[in-house]
Structure 1
Amino acid sequence: MRNINKPLKADQQHSKKDWFSTQLLEWYHIHKRNLPWRETRDPFKIWLSEIILQQTRVNQGLPYYLKFTEEFETIEDFAQADLDEILKIWQGLGYYSRARNMHECAAMIIEKYDGHFPNNYQELQNLKGIGKYTAAAIASICFNEAVPTIDGNVFRLTSRFFGISDDIAKASSFKIFFDKGLQHIPEHEPGNFNQAMMEFGATVCVPKSPNCEDCIFSNLCYAHQRDMIDALPVKSKNIKIKHRYFNYHVLRYKNQILIRQRTSGDIWAGLYEFDLYESEKSLKISNFENAKLLYSTNEIIHQLTHQKLHIQFGVFELNSEQAFEEIRNEKLMSTVSVNALGDYAVPKPIELFLNKEFCQ
């Protein structure tokens, strides 16, 4: 490990270790936010909260957590639900593979583990969609195993306080931060320690303009003492954005409309959409055979992690029921009433389109 701090002597290391974990836990018990998943050690609810909060802010994820726990009290309830039902509740969170993996994971727990989560870090990682971070959260919070969670907040706090300059975008850096966590996580409160690390990173040691003046660690923080807050953590950027152009044909006849379910192997698998023509560049919505173009939208941009979607909608009224049915059969689509569209899980851009322009 390349640590840009001056090495501490053995007695100093022991003192700093005890001081760091003690101070962090004291801070956490006083300042932690009142969140429902902090009132339980139920593995199902901890798992649910951790999966939801991946790539999702707490204030955005909280309503989803409450809705899921209201609909599904146990892992058995969740496993027995239809995937469409889960995707509908998940709608708007994005990264829909998380919801699909959760459904598969729940079935695996019922079938292989008799409805009980494995009680250790290593075995939890055998479950669908559960990686090192989620496994560590469940193991420490629910089963009191002293294994550290490593997420963006932990990377940032650890890097700044201890002066670790290893690139967090590289897979090799995980072990460096994981080993540092192992040095400091207390055996008696591993779950609270992990939650405290994430909470401190999320509320105090934030990415930009952290609250260093009121930080309990500022006197010993490597980055603060050396004016390196903006330099740590080190994270290289090598993301290539792919542009895609989606042209949706909203085909309707009176109060009926055509939709289809997206298949696996691409974004939004399992969600419903209108007839789609994907082009290589932006196009003007053109006429559709046996249909009248009622109106089209301006192009909207929907940003994903590695993709930028350029989306436009054209709303068409078919000139006869026969033409409507022929298109449905030709394109292997399903007929639903306009009023029932809200029952189907759709991608965020389609949800926004429906809410703003189509179902008013």
Structure 2
Amino acid sequence: MRDGKDLDVSGVLLAWYDRHARDLPWRVGPADRAAGMCPDPYRVWLSEVMLQQTTVAAVRDYFHRFTARWPTVEALAAAPDEQVMGEWAGLGYYARARNLLKCARTVAGEMGGRFPASHDALRGLPGIGPYTAAAIAAIAFDQPETVLDGNVERVMARFHDIHDPLPAAKPLLKERAAALTPMRRPGDYAQAVMDLGATICTPRSPACGICPLRDPCLARASGTAAELPKKSPKKPKPTRHGYVYLARRGDGAWLMERRPDKGLLGGMLGWPGSDWTAAPAEAPPFGAEWQSLGEDVRHTFTHFHLVLKVRTAVLPDGLQPEGFKIVGKHEFRPSDLPTVMRKAYDLWRGQ
């Protein structure tokens, strides 16, 4: 059996990718790439931001809607914040949407609508971290950058039979991935490794028998593939509590508030509510006989669970409490709400 040092890993993976590349709406496939078609950096950037902490299946429809509505970075940069945040609703991690707009406006306003090609220059743009910069540089500009997402980490851990747990193992996995990154077709290679992890070297029940790297894979040889990569135990998530207040006028208008730009759901339109703490105080937006729906909203964020008690009341005609917004019946779109706020609306609607 040959090991990874003796095998042209990149050549094997690129040959496999040429036959089995996934058809993704933001991707220029290997045949088109070979024919001279270049990826659009805008579409690559948009897809990479959307894919953070999210699956390909969840992103497809969002990507189609965004690119149909805003086909260029200049178009996105000119879009009103509330429209972009509304289209983003449901993808979560709303700081990404705020940074998306900041980045689009920087590229459109200061760079003539052209994304820089180098990793370091990309890192200087709002919302672009080391991984996203590497992915854009490799995929959009064919730079030999090492792209290390969860799929690549899993492939590297198994290929080299690395048992150090994540996240501590990330530097070692990146070092091993960098050693295999070729100068020839690095963008296609980066996507090939990601596709391998997504379709064959999957988290559960990896299809080792049809893997193009099955012979030199050390974890397959040792029988440890299914247990890698190892991960450090997760700390239990705390639970926070809060209140949300749904007030509707007789003509169907709703009382809403825009959350502060910084923090969870920053800049999003939602229901008035209390702070989210271990023991929140009720904080209704106006005096009324607030009624309980009798059922709580439950939602999980990255670092904590949230339980919200839902209160409802009639909003008197002509009343607009200071700091809040009246959204008319025909302006209100439940799909624009962040998921936790939509859960409260769905609970109200189901009563």
Normalised TM-score (structure 1): 0.86
Helix, strand or coil at the partner of 2:314: strand
Gaps spanning 5+ residues in structure 1: where?
Answer: 1-7
2:201 aligned with 1:212, yes or no? no
1:84–1:344: 8 Å Cα contact kept in structure 2? Answer: no
Within 1, Cα distance between the matches of 2:84 and 2:254? 23
Residue 230 of structure 2 corresponds to: 234
Residues 67-121 of structure 1 show CA distances to partners (whole Å, capped at 9, x for unaligned) of: 1110111111111111211111101000011111111111121233222111111
Within 1, Cα distance between the matches of 2:158 and 2:191? 18
2:119 aligned with 1:127, yes or no? no
Helix, strand or coil at the partner of 2:117: coil
Distance 1:161 1:250, change over 3 A: same
2:299 aligned with 1:308, yes or no? no
Within 1, Cα distance between the matches of 2:245 and 2:345? 13
1:248–1:277: 8 Å Cα contact kept in structure 2? Answer: yes
Residue 32 of structure 2 corresponds to: none
Residue 333 of structure 1 corresponds to: 324
2:342 aligned with 1:351, yes or no? yes
1:308 CA displacement: 0.5
Structure 1 residue corresponding to 2:190, chosen from 182, 191, 194: 194
Residues 32-74 of structure 1 show CA distances to partners (whole Å, capped at 9, x for unaligned) of: 2211211251100000011111111111100011111101111
One-letter amino acid of the counterpart of residue 148, structure 1: T
One-letter amino acid of the counterpart of residue 303, structure 2: H
1:333 CA displacement: 0.8
2:10 aligned with 1:21, yes or no? yes
Residues 229-284 of structure 1 show CA distances to partners (whole Å, capped at 9, x for unaligned) of: 24321221343523211211111221222100000332101111222124634999
Structure (1/2) with the larger helix percentage: 1
Higher mean C-alpha displacement, 22-31 vs 209-218: 209-218
Gaps spanning 5+ residues in structure 2: where?
Answer: 29-37
One-letter amino acid of the counterpart of residue 192, structure 2: A
2:100–2:126: 8 Å Cα contact kept in structure 1? Answer: yes
Distance 1:12 1:268, change over 3 A: closer
2:51 aligned with 1:35, yes or no? no
- The 5 Å alignment of 1:247-262 reads 247-254=243-250, 255-262=252-259
1:263–1:270: 8 Å Cα contact kept in structure 2? Answer: yes
Residue 83 of structure 2 corresponds to: 85
Within 2, Cα distance between the matches of 1:31 and 1:354? 43
One-letter amino acid of the counterpart of residue 335, structure 1: I
Distance 1:54 1:114, change over 3 A: same
1:164–1:233: 8 Å Cα contact kept in structure 2? Answer: yes
2:3–2:216: 8 Å Cα contact kept in structure 1? Answer: no
1:225 CA displacement: 1.6
Distance 1:206 1:116, change over 3 A: same
Helix, strand or coil at the partner of 1:313: strand
1:285–1:296: 8 Å Cα contact kept in structure 2? Answer: no
2:306 aligned with 1:317, yes or no? no
2:173 aligned with 1:177, yes or no? yes
1:358 CA displacement: 2.6
Helix, strand or coil at the partner of 1:300: strand
1:44–1:75: 8 Å Cα contact kept in structure 2? Answer: yes
Distance 1:140 1:206, change over 3 A: same
One-letter amino acid of the counterpart of residue 88, structure 1: G
Within 1, Cα distance between the matches of 2:244 and 2:100? 29
1:256–1:337: 8 Å Cα contact kept in structure 2? Answer: yes
2:88–2:97: 8 Å Cα contact kept in structure 1? Answer: yes
Distance 1:141 1:292, change over 3 A: closer
Residues 182-236 of structure 1 show CA distances to partners (whole Å, capped at 9, x for unaligned) of: 2222222101100011111111111122222322322322112212124321221
Residues 322-348 of structure 1 show CA distances to partners (whole Å, capped at 9, x for unaligned) of: 6x34xx13xx21112233221783220
One-letter amino acid of the counterpart of residue 339, structure 2: K
Within 2, Cα distance between the matches of 1:174 and 1:126? 23
Helix, strand or coil at the partner of 2:224: coil
Residue 280 of structure 1 corresponds to: 278
Within 1, Cα distance between the matches of 2:132 and 2:109? 21
1:251–1:275: 8 Å Cα contact kept in structure 2? Answer: no
Distance 1:50 1:71, change over 3 A: same
Within 1, Cα distance between the matches of 2:279 and 2:131? 39
Residue 111 of structure 1 corresponds to: 109
1:30 CA displacement: 1.4
1:41–1:141: 8 Å Cα contact kept in structure 2? Answer: yes
Q: CA RMSD in A?
A: 2.6
One-letter amino acid of the counterpart of residue 13, structure 2: L
Within 1, Cα distance between the matches of 2:237 and 2:60? 30
1:285 CA displacement: 11
Helix, strand or coil at the partner of 1:260: strand
